[in-house]
Structure 1
Amino acid sequence: MTIRFAASWIVVLLVAGVVRPASVMAETYELDRGYSATLPTGLKLGAVPGIAFDSKGGLVVSHRGPRPILVYDADGKLLQMFGDDELTAVHGTRVDADDNIWVTDYKNHTAIKFSPAGKVLLLLGKRDVAGKDETTFNRPTDVAVAANGDLFVSDGYGNSRIVKFTKEGKFIKAWGVKGKGEGQLNLPHCVQFDAQGLLHVADRENNRVQVFDQEGAFVRSYGGFAPFGLFIGPDQTLFVADGRANKCLHVSLTGKLLSEWGTKGTEPGQFLMPHAIAIDRAGKVYVGDIDGHRLQRFIRRE
């Protein structure tokens, strides 16, 4: 009788959602309460739309405030601050294989390549000119750099397209129109390559990720979340910042849910429009908030 009674209560708890079998959700992420990004006296962190890591484990943070690009070494020491003269409203932020920093500006319609020290190396688009041709964007959101150096810009808020360039910035092609169908886009918000060279596009307003080859051919899609931020880890799984649901997800590259965490709020560990997400070499997850004006770090617990 005791065994049957205990078993029946386990069934009730599982159905109620109080207890989850380990096979359903084996990992969780907890806030690292001891972490905070070092800032110089007088500088406050604004909205954090972009974060990335360089090859040495250094952290690049973009925020909407003075000194919009902050560069840290692997030990958390602040090395560089720059971008006031070039940037109006930072958005996507990536680091390429040579540790150059790519930042899109969704208000002045540009995508800029900086050296690690902040020197402008290449500018795509025309500053303060919105358009839809080979030389202009309309509120671009992110940049992905292919293994051969080709550049892929998600031209998201105004144009709902992906634009491909050579590494020198010469236009190659563009694809995408606004819509809900296969291969159509509604606010391509960020872009990431997987190890096979396929481009994962955060089709934000369609609540999905669409996957394309480098010529723009549709491969597959997966979703059920609003992808504000994407980061593909070295194990070829995907971390997602869902700014609409105020949570983060860890999924496979076909969309299988591995973990999710977060709720809306101002308390530590909660989110107010998470927008940027990236993991460091130790697997710690960094999340940047837009409305919360903060950068938080999470540690995986089994």
Structure 2
Amino acid sequence: MTNYFPKSQQDPHGMIIGQGDFKYKVDAHWGKLDPSQNPVENCHDMVIDSKGRIIMLTDNTKNNFIIYNKDGSLAEAWGSEYPGAHSIEIVEENGEEFLYVVDHGWVLNRHWDGKSTDDWASPYNKVIAQQGFVVKLTLDGRLVYTIGHPMTIGIYQPDMPFRPSDIAVAPNGDIYITDGYGSDFVIQYDSYGRYISHWGGQKNEDKNYNLFNTHGVGVDTRNPNDPHLIVSSRWEQCLKLFNLDGSYRGRIDTPGAYIHGPVFSGENFFAPVCWSHIDEENAEDSGFISVFNKDNKVIANLGGTAPIYQGGKLQTMSTTWDVFKHCHGMCIDDEGNLYVGQWRGNQSYPFKLTPIK
């Protein structure tokens, strides 16, 4: 079996992480499979179906979808159509479950020189950019419809990139797509994939509407009478709040954390952090998970430094460098267990975090 932990990083299996009421035991071996049969490149996102199975999305086209039983054993694996597979959402409509899948357009380069990983303009980089798309699928993978480049409906110019990063579905079925690797808009469609509106970008007179690497989005229904959006502006190290019609309502600063969108659990939400901001840069191998309470205050950092507020202001957060490389996708089961996938995690499989009662 592949060694997923380089000599400079200890195997975190069995570690206890977190603070206060949010402490977890790390099972780094939970999702390990035979990489010759079921390989991963990045573990980009995860959801749980009505049977309690964990569906993981990876950009390895030998099996874009790896479906786990709760004990970490393989239920099934399939899919080769999504080279930039990045985000997944599951919804139930009239008793049937559907998957929304976001392909962000960054694809493995068959001309890779074997060395370049961050030379984004090079034709020999490990990944190269094309345009992305979004699909709606049945649970067994049959295509329902596709959402393509917004220039086809007149809201983008042809020279504007579309590389979507995440998707969320509102209670009425409307869907919200963040173009986090493209032109940084949030685009709203109805449940049939018909365009409604868009906002964001980087050049608004009201800077509250600006978004920079709008990587994640979630619909906050913790108060069912006030559903709204939480949208990451990852390069600003913050989350922004919008009403469902796109009007701005607030901001949650997350200093030190390049943060993804929310994953809700009861009155709290969890948000993966891909990098910490250290020495004036987004540092390698510095991810963690932030836990927010009902008032959108950080109450724990799993694998990171404990949150500190001074004068009501959250102080800079960062990793402790001992658990995660780059946290990306995650889901939470009905027992409060967390399943965490990583970007650039040495092709590692998902970790399971079990709460310490």
What is the 5 A alignment of 1:85-124?
A: 86-97=81-92, 98-107=96-105, 108-124=131-147
Q: Secondary structure at the match of 2:227?
A: coil
* Match 2:64 to one of 64, 68, 72: 68
1:128-184 CA-partner distances (Å, limit 9, x unpaired): x9x953999610011111111111111111111110111111111111121693122
Structure 1 residues 35 and 265, CA gap change in structure 2 (3 angstroms): farther
Tell me the TM-score normalized by structure 1.
Answer: 0.81
Contact 1:93 1:101 in 2 (8 A): yes
Task: Write the distance in 2 (CA, Å) between the matches of 1:77 and 1:57.
Answer: 13
Q: Secondary structure at the match of 1:99?
A: strand
* Match 1:138 to one of 154, 162, 171: 162
Match status 1:240 vs 2:271: yes
Task: Write the distance in 1 (CA, Å) between the matches of 2:301 and 2:87.
Answer: 22
Contact 2:30 2:71 in 1 (8 A): no
What is the 5 A alignment of 1:171-210?
A: 171-178=195-202, 181-195=207-221, 196-210=226-240
1:69-117 CA-partner distances (Å, limit 9, x unpaired): 1223445453443331x21211111111242111111114101111110
Task: Write the distance in 2 (CA, Å) between the matches of 1:137 and 1:170.
Answer: 20
Number of matched residues?
275
Q: Secondary structure at the match of 1:138?
A: coil
Q: Return the letter of the residue paired with 1:241.
A: P
Moved more, 285-294 or 74-83: 74-83
Structure 1 residues 229 and 288, CA gap change in structure 2 (3 angstroms): farther
Structure 1 residues 214 and 74, CA gap change in structure 2 (3 angstroms): same
Contact 2:291 2:300 in 1 (8 A): yes
Q: Return the letter of the residue paired with 1:190.
A: G
Q: Return the letter of the residue paired with 2:194.
A: K
* Match 1:26 to one of 14, 21, 39: 21
Compute the displacement of 1:121 (Å): 1.1
Contact 2:55 2:68 in 1 (8 A): yes
1:169-207 CA-partner distances (Å, limit 9, x unpaired): 111111112169312211111111111321111111111
Task: Write the distance in 2 (CA, Å) between the matches of 1:152 and 1:160.
Answer: 13
Identity of aligned residues (%): 22
Match status 1:231 vs 2:263: yes
Task: Write the distance in 1 (CA, Å) between the matches of 2:179 and 2:74.
Answer: 31
Compute the displacement of 1:255 (Å): 3.0
For structure 1, list consecutive stretches of 5 or more residues without a partner in the other structure.
Answer: 1-23
Compute the displacement of 1:223 (Å): 2.6
Q: What corresponds to 2:352 in structure 1?
A: 297
* Match 1:170 to one of 176, 191, 194: 194
Compute the displacement of 1:236 (Å): 2.8
Task: Write the distance in 2 (CA, Å) between the matches of 1:41 and 1:201.
Answer: 37
Match status 1:151 vs 2:163: no
Q: What corresponds to 2:296 in structure 1?
A: 255
For structure 2, list consecutive stretches of 5 or more residues without a partner in the other structure.
Answer: 1-18, 106-130, 277-286, 305-318
1:221-246 CA-partner distances (Å, limit 9, x unpaired): 1131321353111x131111111121
Contact 2:149 2:162 in 1 (8 A): no
Task: Write the distance in 1 (CA, Å) between the matches of 2:37 and 2:303.
Answer: 30
Contact 1:191 1:201 in 2 (8 A): yes
Q: Which has the larger radius of gyration?
A: 1
CA RMSD of aligned residues (A): 2.9
Task: Write the distance in 2 (CA, Å) between the matches of 1:188 and 1:213.
Answer: 16
Compute the displacement of 1:51 (Å): 0.8
Structure 1 residues 33 and 71, CA gap change in structure 2 (3 angstroms): closer
Q: Return the letter of the residue paired with 1:186.
A: F
Q: Return the letter of the residue paired with 1:145.
A: V
Task: Write the distance in 1 (CA, Å) between the matches of 2:275 and 2:29.
Answer: 27
Q: Secondary structure at the match of 1:182?
A: helix
Q: Return the letter of the residue paired with 1:168.
A: Y
Task: Write the distance in 2 (CA, Å) between the matches of 1:296 and 1:51.
Answer: 12
Task: Write the distance in 2 (CA, Å) between the matches of 1:249 and 1:73.
Answer: 26
